[in-house]
Amino acid sequence: PRVGIALGANAVNLPESGVVISGHWPVLRLDDWMNLMAGITGSDKANTLPVQLNKLSFAQVNGWGRSLTQVELDASLRDALWKVSVNSKEVDGKLTWNKSSQLLNAQLAQLHLPLPTALAVNLERGTGKSASDAGESGVKFSQIPAMNVKVKDLRYQGAQLGELSIQSEPKDGEMSLKE
């Protein structure tokens, strides 16, 4: 199969095989995105379609009660391996996610914390509530994958903290830190 998805007014060229997505969209909810990707890629590694994200941009990306702003990304999925290049106001760098081994590798030039709180719109009352008030936060250690993370410029509330290196893995419902 060959699928091209253009967000906004941009046109997209069809790939030789698989799925290509490009363009701009104002706000992306990661829960929706992950459901879409699960539907496209499936759970069977042998039948995974190649996916290419070309110059995809969002004014805001919301997930786990937090948001990134002014997000630009390029990514590819081949054989259960995601390779992602992300640039936003808060995060800049490269990530890989190995679906088979459940390992996240991140080489970040910058990580500026805390990430802004995402706002969820309460449609019944027409008011904005933080995502944590809407029940979208509360990540458990058992949900966090094994990680190898290196950050060159770590900041918290504008204070420069320097470099950070973390190696971790979930173990018995807790997080085991190696570095």
Measuring CA to CA, which residue among 34, 40, 35, 55 is closest to residue 2? Answer: 40
pTM for the model stands at: 0.78
**Chain segment 29-52, per-residue pLDDT in tens:** 988 887 777 776 665 555 578 889
Check whether the bond before 50 is cis (ω within 30° of 0). Answer: no
Spatial contact of 172 and 156, defined as CB atoms under 8 Å apart: no
**Chain segment 8-18, per-residue pLDDT in tens:** 877 888 888 88
Check whether the bond before 15 is cis (ω within 30° of 0). Answer: no
- Burial of 166 per CB tally in 10 Å (0-12, 13-18, 19+): middle
Residue 167's pLDDT band (cuts 50, 70, 90) = very high
